Amino acid sequence: MAASGVEFLTVREVASLMRFSIDRISKLCREGQIAGAQKFGGSWRIHKRTFLESIGCTDEPLDFDPQPQSGRV
């Protein structure tokens, strides 16, 4: 997702990257534990570059599928 040239990740995308549940990522956002997390309306969005730098990942682009495969939890 991009707004004004700034790219954001959804909670679902971060959950997929981190292999955490969506509920867990949402909780971490509420607690201020996810770098770059901001609430827009009723949804959390995570500033992509800030988040990736916070987990030590600076190489882009990331190639991942935010939709879990069947059989994966």
Mean pLDDT, range 42-67, rounded to an integer = 79
SS3 of 18, please? helix
Predicted TM-score (pTM) of the model is: 0.71
Mean pLDDT, range 17-25, rounded to an integer = 96
Q: What is the pLDDT at residue 57?
A: 82
Q: Is pLDDT above 60 for 68? A: no
Cβ contact 32:38 at 8 Å:
no
Q: What is the CATH number of domain 2-54?
A: 3.90.105
Mean pLDDT, range 38-65, rounded to an integer = 83
Q: What is the pLDDT at residue 1?
A: 53
Q: Where are the domains of the chain?
A: 2-54
Q: What is the pLDDT at residue 27?
A: 97
Question: What b-and-e string marks burial along 23-46, b requiring 16 or more CB atoms within 10 Å of the CB?
Answer: eebbebbeeeebebbeeeeeebbb
Q: How many CB atoms lie within 10 A of CB 8?
A: 21
